[in-house]
Amino acid sequence: MDSALSWVALVILVFVLAISLPDGRHRRLERRLRELDRKLDLLLDHHGIADERPGMAEVDELLRRDRKVEAIKRYRQLTGAGLAEAKQAVEARIR
């Protein structure tokens, strides 16, 4: 539960920062956040910790039903990730 609360707090903080930054810094922050999200996914997977973010169970269910393209699409909807990043994250969830 603490990790879910931490995740929500992080998202709120990033959102507040993002709306107050100039465009260039906003893009750098967005790229950095995506990279941190990818690393978090890898760490959670490596340590066998379930991802408690809302909707990730749906992504996992799509993967169990061999619906990778739909899982990538749903991951993008949930996280705002780009296509390449979402594909990497979903493939990491498969492993």
The number of folded domains in the chain is 1
Q: What pLDDT, on a 0 to 100 scale, did the predictor assign at position 22?
A: 67
Confidence band (pLDDT; 50, 70, 90) for 63? very high
In order, the DSSP letters of the chain are -HHHHHHHHHHHHHHHHHHHS-HHHHHHHHHHHHHHHHHHHHHHHHTT----STTHHHHHHHHHTT-HHHHHHHHHHHH---HHHHHHHHHHHH-
Candidate ranges 8-12, 43-47, 74-78; pick with highest mean pLDDT = 74-78
Section 60-84 average pLDDT: 91
Give the dihedral of Cα atoms 27, 89, 44, 11; nearest 10 deg: 30
pLDDT in tens, 11-60: 787 777 767 766 677 778 888 887 887 788 778 777 877 667 778 889 98
Q: What pLDDT, on a 0 to 100 scale, did the predictor assign at position 74?
A: 93
Domain that holds residue 36: 2-94
Q: What pLDDT, on a 0 to 100 scale, did the predictor assign at position 68?
A: 94
